[in-house]
Amino acid sequence: MPNDPMVAEILDNIRRVFQFVNEHSKRVVRETGLTGPQLWAIKVIAERAPIRV
């Protein structure tokens, strides 16, 4: 199975997806100064506002 061209293609595509997501995350941090989890928390707070601690 490791020599199966389809498996190799799938793994290569998964690698590309992870690489894209990683690059996007780094760009977002550079542009906003916030990490993904921080942005997610702000989004949740905004969607559910007003929200109590």
- For 9-27, what is each residue's pLDDT tens digit? 999 999 999 999 999 999 9
Calculate the dihedral angle through the C-alpha atoms of 30, 31, 36, 41, rounding to the nearest 10 degrees: 140
Task: Give the predicted TM-score (pTM) of the model.
Answer: 0.64
Q: Is residue 13 part of a domain?
A: yes
Q: Is residue 53 part of a domain?
A: no
Q: pLDDT tens for residues 27-48?
A: 999 999 999 899 999 999 999 9
For the chain, the straight-line distance linking the first and the last C-alpha, in angstroms and rounded, comes to: 52
- Which range of residues forms the domain containing residue 26? 5-48
At 6 the pLDDT is: 94
Q: At residue 53, does pLDDT exceed 80? A: no
Q: Is residue 38 part of a domain?
A: yes
